[in-house]
Amino acid sequence: MSTPLVSVVLLNWNGADVAASAAGSVRGQTRSNTELVVVDNASTDDSLRLIRHRAEPDVVVTNDTNLGFAAGMNAGVAAASGDVVVLLNHDAALAEDFADTAVQLFEAHPDAGILGGRVVEVDALVHADGRAVADGGDAQVAVGARGFTASMRLWERSDTLSAVVPAVGGAAPALRLDFIADVNARFGALFDTTYDTYGEDVDLFARAPHTGWTVRYEPTLRAVHLGSHASQKRVSDKRGRLRTNVVRNRHRNVTRHSRPRRVLVNRSIAIAEDLGFVALRLARRDTAVLADVAAAWRGAIGLHGDDTAFRRLHGGLPRSVDGPRYRPLARW
């Protein structure tokens, strides 16, 4: 195709003016052949009106209830028309050359199904004049190429290399349409909606090798992120459903994606990390952590049969995608 269309799917939930800035960064792209698809997960603030005013989306999908990240993104991807689909969090913004760069990179790397770029944590998504912040500078924390630990947590590998990697940042990954079609055909949907929120991106990255596509990190693909505006950044700052989802879905990914001989070992590592985390939080008088982690374990046990069947059907991660056997608990 001579002029591939790039669709940017913006998932919004009570994003206020931050989400409008994210949408504005799509309208500020140097590539004119760019489509903006907005999915609103039953926001109760003024964010959808602000997005419409700022960016005039090509497609708007409104959900009557908050469907969570997985189902919300699935709905947006289904409504998109692009040959390349960018999954944009409402607290992130794209550099003005993002769409052009993504198309060029997909053309240069025909095996790539997912592209991830250098995402810099910033304090604001737009400059005083309204232009999108393209790069937060070297002084800020940058999310680059990522790897998996044995317990299916993500750890930072590098923000400068250009290579096939196990995983990338989840704030603005770009997906090839053929990859999306292959994932839908093999797994039934792009994201597994039983994950709700958290861990679904890890599940997607881990499934990529089973479809014959690669995940690639390219530092020239740039975006910025407003430090978990949508929720608290660290697990220790989350409470209730959010924290339960993080812990539960990590155990699910261990069961789904560990190689058969590593399942019990990796599950033991995950449990040990949870117990250490609980001890740290109790030391800080966070007694709610007991109920949250217990609920996470019950949820993981309830889905254990389905996740075991998933691994038996598709197989665990290939050895080449393995991460380190252990990362410090401080990574929480």
The predicted pLDDT at position 332 comes to 41
What is the pLDDT at residue 330? 37
Averaged confidence pLDDT in the chain: 87
Pairing of strands 6-12, 142-143: unpaired
pLDDT digits (tens, 9 = 90+) for 250-307: 999 999 999 999 999 999 999 999 999 999 999 999 999 999 999 999 999 999 999 9
Instruction: Point out the least confidently predicted range of 4-18, 40-54, 196-210, 232-246.
Output: 232-246
pLDDT of 158 reads 78
pLDDT higher than threshold 70 for residue 323: no
Given a cut of 90, whether residue 308 has pLDDT beyond it is yes
**Residue 138: per-residue pLDDT:** 47
Q: Which of 74, 46, 70 is nearest to 202 (CA)?
A: 70
User: What confidence score (pLDDT) does residue 19 get?
Assistant: 92
144/231 Cα distance (integer angstroms):
21
Q: Using alpha carbons, list the distances in angstroms from residue 3 to 46, 209, 224.
A: 35, 28, 26
Q: What is the pLDDT of residues 212-235, one digit of tens each?
A: 999 999 999 999 888 654 444 454
Paired strand residues for 12: 40
Question: Would you place residue 139 in the very low, low, confident or very high pLDDT band (cuts 50, 70, 90)?
Answer: very low
What domains, with CATH codes, occur in the chain?
6-225 (3.90.550.10), 235-331 (no CATH)
Highest mean pLDDT among 86-100, 113-127, 144-158: 86-100
CB 34 within 8 A of CB 65: no
User: What pLDDT score was predicted for residue 326?
Assistant: 45
Residue 108's alpha-carbon distances to 81, 84, 101, 111, 282, in angstroms, are 22, 14, 10, 9, 51
pLDDT at 35: 97
Q: Are 306 and 246 in contact (CB under 8 A)?
A: no
- Work out the average pLDDT over 62-88: 95
Element (H, E) at 8: strand 6-12
Strand partners, 223: 94, 119
- Helix or strand (DSSP H, E) at 126: none
Distance CA 208, CA 190 (A): 11
